[in-house]
A and B are shown apart, each in its own frame.
Chain A
Amino acid sequence: MNLGHGSGAGAASRSTIWDYANPARFMSATGRILPAASATAGGTLAVGVFWSFFLTPDDYQHGATVKIMFLHVPAALMAINGWLMMLAASLVWLVRRHHVSALAAKAAAPVGLTMTLIALATGAIWGKPAWGAYWVWDPRLTSFLVLLTFYIAYVALWEAIDNPDLAADLTSILCIVGSVFALLSRYAVLFWSQGLHQGASLSLDRESHIDNAYYVPLLVCIAGFVMSFLVLVLLRTRNEIRLRQLAVRTARRDLA
């Protein structure tokens, strides 16, 4: 990746140089670590899931459904942390104008969305034996449904705007403002459901599950999910960078 490549193009805007600067270093660094990182992430996830599914004892209260916790908790954690990562990346874009940051936020959204879906599905399935219904407007589940709508809105806005820098700007400000209202929504939902579902919320009973039998595989699963999230985001960011470079080349070729 030739750093000087962009500076010669007369008609090209300043952004062309940015496309080849930080991104170049990003691409070479991630290209080197991605294979090993993927293997580690996949391995950890596999170990965690295998352990959770085959080797954990049944809960005295929930029976075998406690095994669902090993998927639900990590997914829920990554759903939230994914959004937080997007928020941080959006702020970096708005302040420092690093394209890699904007593209990282774009790349992370579908992964976070998937995590939210997993959290919702596993939460609902776990809810059936626990509360007798697949869906209850429990504050936690409702908040994740709200988070899903924010993810969808964010992805939709990226897709709707052609100009990549404009899209980065608008999605960044949406992420920031959206985060404020997502947070307010979380507390509003707590207010809303307190009177209706006392005691029915899916509390994680950390006290009862601090058993090593549960705690360690849960940590492994969380580690697996975190690493998988990071690997997927790195991969997708590389894709976005390549697609962006492709667009720049195509535009320049059309101008020439």
Chain B
Amino acid sequence: MIPDLGTHAVAVLTAYGISAVLIFAIVVLSLLQARRAKRRLDAAEGRKSD
């Protein structure tokens, strides 16, 4: 399945791996930030309309 990367297998896999981790990290952090922001704003708006 994984193509024959020859002698450079480690290099290519590490590069793709690190990139994947970094992209995953920024996406997850942004989504968590979104959830936090929405939750807290909704709570504040809910409280205000009381």
User: Chain A: residues with CB nearer than 8 A to chain B?
Assistant: 49, 53-54, 58, 63-65, 67-68, 71-72, 75, 110-111, 114, 117-118, 121-122, 125-126, 128-129, 228, 232, 235-236, 238-240, 242-243, 245-246, 249-250, 253
- Evaluate whether A239 and B37 lie within 8 angstroms (CB atoms) in the complex, with A58-B6, A110-B26, A118-B18 already known: yes
Q: Is the CB of A129 within 8 A of B27?
A: no
Q: Is the CB of B3 within 8 A of A232?
A: no
- Evaluate whether A128 and B19 lie within 8 angstroms (CB atoms) in the complex, with A64-B5, A239-B33 already known: no
- CA distance in complex: A232, B26 (Å): 8
- CA distance in complex: A64, B4 (Å): 8
- CA distance in complex: A243, B26 (Å): 18
Contacts of B23 in A (CB 8 A): 114, 118, 228
Interface residue range, chain B? 20 to 34
**A239 shortest CB reach to chain B, Å:** 4
Choose among B18, B25, B34, B45 the residue that contacts A122 (Cβ–Cβ < 8 A).
B18
**B23 shortest CB reach to chain A, Å:** 7
Choose among B12, B18, B36, B41 the residue that contacts A65 (Cβ–Cβ < 8 A).
B12
Majority secondary structure, B binding face: helix
**A154 shortest CB reach to chain B, Å:** 16
- Evaluate whether A246 and B11 lie within 8 angstroms (CB atoms) in the complex, with A64-B5, A236-B30, A239-B33 already known: no
Q: Is the CB of A129 within 8 A of B41?
A: no
User: Chain B: residues with CB nearer than 8 A to chain A?
Assistant: 3-9, 11-12, 14-16, 18-19, 22-23, 25-27, 29-31, 33-34, 36-38, 40-41, 44-45, 47-48
Q: Is the CB of B25 within 8 A of A68?
A: no
- Evaluate whether A243 and B48 lie within 8 angstroms (CB atoms) in the complex, with A114-B23, A118-B23, A121-B15 already known: no
- CA distance in complex: A243, B47 (Å): 16
Contacts of A128 in B (CB 8 A): 11
**B37 shortest CB reach to chain A, Å:** 4
Write the chain A residue with the least CB distance to B20.
Answer: A49
- CA distance in complex: A114, B23 (Å): 7
List 4 A-B pairs, minimum CB-CB distance, nearest first: A242-B37, A64-B5, A239-B37, A114-B26
**A62 shortest CB reach to chain B, Å:** 8
- CA distance in complex: A245, B48 (Å): 13
Q: Is the CB of B19 within 8 A of A122?
A: yes
Contacts of A253 in B (CB 8 A): 44, 47-48
